[in-house]
Amino acid sequence: MIKLDTTSGREAISGGEPDSAQRFASEVKYVSYYAQKLADTLGMRQLMLGIVEDREGQTAFRASSTGWHGAVSSNRRSLWQVRETLQRS
């Protein structure tokens, strides 16, 4: 499990392999930037959970009280399975 802590005005990443952690942080920042624009358009407040899938695998993340937590995986799992895993963690 990788954690991206965004409290206290600075970003701190922990957990996972260095490559995965870097990819996780980049993905979360990119997606959450556009997600905020989409939330504003849809009249919603914020992104709670994201699952991004390309040919290499999945990056999944969930909002927490301190930022985001989630994982980068080369396996392709169902959306239901990923959500369950994130909600348990």
Partner 1 sequence: MTQNSLIAAAASLQRLEGVAGVVLFKGRNTVHKQMPFSDGRAMDLQETISQMVDGYRQVRRKMRQIYLEFDGGTLLVIIQEDSVLVLLLTARADSDLVASAATVLMTDHATLLAQLSRDTTATPAKTSDGIEELVVTSPVRIQEMNEKAEPVVNNWGQVRKVIEGILGKVMGRAQVSNLMDRTMEEGQIGDPYRLNATQVRKLAVSVIDHIPNTSKRRQLLTELESQLEEMNL
Site for partner 1 contains 12 (CB under 8 A) = no
Residues 45-64 that bind partner 1 (CB under 8 A): 45-55
Part in contact with partner 1 (CB under 8 A); list of ranges 1-9, 10-18, 64-72, 77-85: 77-85
Sheet containing 12-14: order of strands: 12-14, 2-5, 67-73, 57-64
Joined together, the tokens standing for residue 2 give 């990788």
Q: How far apart are alpha carbons 39 and 18 in whole angstroms?
A: 31
| Nearer residue to partner 1 within complex by CB, 5 or 53 | 53
| Nearer residue to partner 1 within complex by CB, 67 or 83 | 83
Closest approach of partner 1 to the CB of residue 25, in Å = 15
Q: Which residues are at the interface with partner 1 (CB under 8 A)?
A: 30-31, 34-35, 37-39, 41-55, 78-81, 83-84
